[in-house]
Amino acid sequence: MKEPLPSPVTVTPPEGWRISELHDPFEAYVGPLFEREDADGTRIFGFIADERHVNERGAVHEGMMMTFADAFLGGAANRGADGKSCVTLSLQASFLADAKAGDLIECRTKLDRKTRAIVFVSARFSVGDDDVMTATSLWKVLGER
C-alpha cells in the first residue's frame, strides 16, 4: 500500500476527528480531510471548507463536493469489496443547498448492494442538521467479472 500523502494545507481537526489518510495526490491537495466514528461505529468523514473550495458566489464548488464524494464513497466501496481496489463507474449527485467557507461538511456513506464485480454506494452530505448533497455511485471491483 502507498504511504499516506500529507495535505499542503494545515488544518487542526475538529474535536473528536482525526486526519484521514489519503493516498491520491489530488485528494491530498484539496484536503486535509477528516474522519471519526459515531457511537454506533459508523465512520463519518468531513472537511472544513476554506477559500480554496468556494466559487465566485462564496458557495462550496460542486467540483469540490464531487471530489469529496469520490474519495469517501470509493473508500466505502473498497471496504465493501473486502479491501480490493475499486474504480468509479458512475457518480451522481444532487445538490440540495450551499455550504460556505468555514462549514464542516460531513459525509455518511452506505453500502447499498454488492455483487462480485460491482459495489453500489450512496451517501448523505450535511452541514450540521442540514443536508447539502446526496450521491449514489457504482464501483468496479478490479480483477472481478
Summarize pLDDT for 83-136 with one digit per residue, the tens.
999 999 999 999 999 999 999 999 999 999 999 999 999 999 999 999 999 999
CB atoms within 10 A of CB 56: 6
Per residue in 19-75, pLDDT (tens digit) is 988 777 788 788 888 999 988 888 899 999 999 999 999 999 999 999 999 999 999
- Domain assignments of the chain as residue spans, ordered by start: 18-141
User: What's the maximum distance between 2 C-alpha atoms anywhere in the chain?
Assistant: 45
Among the listed residues 110, 130, 128, the one whose alpha carbon sits nearest the alpha carbon of residue 119: 110
- Is the CB of residue 57 less than 8 Å from the CB of residue 49? no
How do residues 70-80 score in pLDDT, each as one tens digit? 999 999 999 99
How many helices (H) and strands (E) the chain has is answered by: 2, 7
As its CATH architecture, domain 18-141 has: Roll (3.10)
User: Comparing C-alpha atoms, which of 103, 102, 88 is closest to residue 140?
Assistant: 88
pTM metric for this prediction: 0.88
